[in-house]
Amino acid sequence: MVKISGEYQGDLHCAATHGPSGRTLETDAPVDNQGRGETFSPTDLVATALGTCILTTMGIAARRLDLDLKGARFEVTKEMSADMPRRIVRLATHIWLPVSRSTDRDGVLERTAHACPVHKSLSPAVDVPIVLHWKE
């Protein structure tokens, strides 16, 4: 179990602290929702969590395959609903891998990308296409 604590700092800014490490991060409301967009919004953190979760779980699987994914990158494009209630409707995800498709024995890495805990925690109403870009 991990405890995250936070505090509203006013002007649509919050600060959160990761209990185990004591590290902090801040959020701001996005410009299109009354904020200044000075840092990640809460929904930006969902997109960030998805990308980092995919790379982390793929890294775990790669260890079992004796592969090194150092340098792998992600890009998640978050789309919000046009109607109310405001919500994430799409997280289009691209993953660039420093290994060729032929190294993915039995499709383990590809399956892992679609099975990370954040992906599995999202509502089925959120469209989450994932495209893997393999090294040539």
Tell me the per-residue pLDDT of 15-50, one tens digit each, with 9 for 90 and over: 999 999 999 999 999 999 999 999 999 999 999 999
Q: What is the CA radius of gyration of the chain?
A: 17
Q: Where are the beta strands (DSSP E) in the chain?
A: 4-10, 13-18, 24-28, 73-80, 88-96, 130-133
Residue 74 tokens read as 């992600």
Confidence of residue 105 (pLDDT cuts 50, 70, 90): confident
